[in-house]
Structure 1
Amino acid sequence: MKSYNLLLGLAVIAGAPVALAAQPAPVLDINQPPANNQSANTTTTSTDEVEALKRAVQTRNRALNDMQLQIDELQTEVSELRGVSEEQAYTISQILQRQRELYQELDRVASMKSAPPAKPVASTNNTGGGSNVNYSADLSENESYDRAVNLVLKEKKYDQAIQEFKAFTRQYPNSSYAANAHYWLGQLLFNKGQLQEAEAEFNIVIDNHEGSNKRSDAMLKAGMVAQKQNDVAKARQMYRKVINEYANSSAAQLAQTRLNNL
């Protein structure tokens, strides 16, 4: 029985190739269009890829726009910081200059108090006819000037100091301290925003006290007054005047800085 089954199996195996060979192989016609579902799948895939590319491009463009906005903001901040830095540097230079002036003024007051009173001498600063008295030897004049200065330096009573300096310039118009008094008065008025009155005081120093060491500073402050009044042409004129007449002074250096920023 086992021999019969074995023979039967061999016969089936031997006949299998013949049966397979008898069946025709399937033939694929390359000219035949794909089925409808295959075409639809291909179209859907292409559309998805295009949409994905569009989304990627849009995302990249948004990222680039955000980066450009950040760069613009940073550039603006840098410009603002540069302007603040320049303004602070100028302010510091003004403070240092003002400190030097205050120390010089205090030294002058101290030396004046320690010196013996001198006899009145003829003035070398005549603004009109006749011989005027130089009040630098007048104790009442010294006291009046010191009182006005101390109101600024010690007591910080600036409004009262303005009145004291005005009274001093009226009472002692030919004083050897007249240029300083007018300059102090102009500075106090400038700080209060009374620009026209301040300009008038600075112009007195410029026009009537050519030998004063405050004349270059008065020119600088007159230019600053014009700049605050938006008179750029006049401001440039005053700054150039300081630079031309007092080239090596600290006032000229500050004038050059302001002129460059106009």
Structure 2
Amino acid sequence: MKPNTILAALMLLSGSTQVWAAPAPVSEAANNPTPGSIEQRIAQLERMMKTRNLLQIELQQQLNLLQDEVSQVRGVTEEQSYKLEKVLQRQRELYQEIENRVSKVYDQSNTASATAVNPADASQALSNDLSENEAYDRAVALIMQDKRYDAAIPEFQSFLTTFPNSVYIPNAHYWLGQLLSIKNDDNNALVHFKKVVEQFPDSNKRPDAMLKLGALYEKLEKTDLAKQILNTLISEYPSTTAAKLATERLAKI
């Protein structure tokens, strides 16, 4: 064999070897991903799950805080409502006690007179007779200081007999009406309240006596008389506390 022929054969063999050792196409590599890329995707998913779990925990904590705040607000509201109801109940009890026993709070420094009059009218409501003042003061003290209501009744009755022309006569009738009302002696209480209303038009006790009359008439189921006296009270003494109470009572009849 010629040398040139041998050389050509060797070159062909060398070229075929290089072709057989060529790398695989790019598309084939894409269909078979490396282990490193799968691990990265798994790690990314884990991070996403972890982030979502953290957000859920944070939202749950915020929800728990809101629920606690709502519970606290509800508790405060219920407590305030309870306290308010207790205050209102106490006010009703105090009003009932005043309604049953006395018509006004006597806040004058001179409790000896114990008459609910304005300072400007004091000269017309006080007597110059020392024994008369003492008798009246003693009867009033049994109510205002000693709370001896049963004992006060004969004291006022004796006062009416002993001092028939006293300036305290309308007050004495009014107190007797109050005391007899406490004892549920409604008919005799009516007599004394009516005397204040009918015989003493200038007395400062007249509007209160009218209010008491209305209450007694209502209690005795004399509704027409109750409405009549209460409307008269409102008409004649519109700016008084008695008139306001009469308005409230009329609304319930």
Does structure 1 residue 170 correspond to structure 2 residue 161? Answer: yes
Matching of residues 142-181 of structure 1 within 5 Å: 142-181=133-172
Unaligned runs of 5+ in 2: 1-86, 116-123
Q: Distance in 2 between matches of 1:225 and 1:181?
A: 18
Question: Could you tell me how far 1:160 is from its partner in structure 2?
Answer: 1.1
Question: Could you tell me how far 1:165 is from its partner in structure 2?
Answer: 0.3
- Give the TM-score taking structure 2 as reference length: 0.56
8 Å CA contact 2:207, 2:242 repeated in 1: yes
Q: Distance in 2 between matches of 1:238 and 1:87?
A: 29
Question: Could you tell me how far 1:172 is from its partner in structure 2?
Answer: 1.0
Q: Distance in 2 between matches of 1:160 and 1:91?
A: 24
Partner of 1:82: none
Aligned mate of 2:222, from 223, 231, 235: 231
Classify the secondary structure of the residue corresponding to 1:137: coil
Partner of 2:107: 103
Unaligned runs of 5+ in 1: 1-84, 113-123, 125-133
- Give the TM-score taking structure 1 as reference length: 0.54
Matching of residues 68-79 of structure 1 within 5 Å: none
Name the CA shift for 1:254/1:92 in 2 (closer, same or farther; >3 Å): farther
Does structure 1 residue 138 correspond to structure 2 residue 129? Answer: yes
Question: Could you tell me how far 1:176 is from its partner in structure 2?
Answer: 0.9
Moved more, 95-104 or 162-171: 95-104
Deviations 1:69-104 (A, max 9, x none): xxxxxxxxxxxxxxxx99976664566784843324
Report the RMSD for the aligned CA atoms in angstroms: 3.1
Partner of 1:42: none
Q: Distance in 2 between matches of 1:110 and 1:228?
A: 32
Q: Distance in 1 between matches of 2:138 and 2:234?
A: 34
Aligned mate of 1:258, from 245, 249, 253: 249
Q: Distance in 1 between matches of 2:172 and 2:144?
A: 14
Partner of 1:249: 240
Name the CA shift for 1:223/1:108 in 2 (closer, same or farther; >3 Å): same
Question: Could you tell me how far 1:155 is from its partner in structure 2?
Answer: 1.5
Name the CA shift for 1:256/1:86 in 2 (closer, same or farther; >3 Å): farther
Partner of 2:190: 199
8 Å CA contact 1:135, 1:175 repeated in 2: no
Q: Distance in 1 between matches of 2:164 and 2:145?
A: 25
Name the CA shift for 1:251/1:94 in 2 (closer, same or farther; >3 Å): farther
8 Å CA contact 1:136, 1:175 repeated in 2: yes
Classify the secondary structure of the residue corresponding to 1:254: helix
Q: Distance in 2 between matches of 1:203 and 1:222?
A: 7
- Aligned AA for 2:110? D
Q: Distance in 1 between matches of 2:217 and 2:165?
A: 28
8 Å CA contact 2:173, 2:193 repeated in 1: yes
Deviations 1:163-218 (A, max 9, x none): 00011011111111111111111000011100010000001110111111100000
Q: Distance in 2 between matches of 1:195 and 1:173?
A: 23
8 Å CA contact 2:113, 2:137 repeated in 1: no
Aligned pairs, number? 158
Pair member with larger Rg: 2
Give the fraction of aligned pairs with identical amino acids, expressed as a percent: 40
Matching of residues 83-98 of structure 1 within 5 Å: 92-93=94-95, 98=102
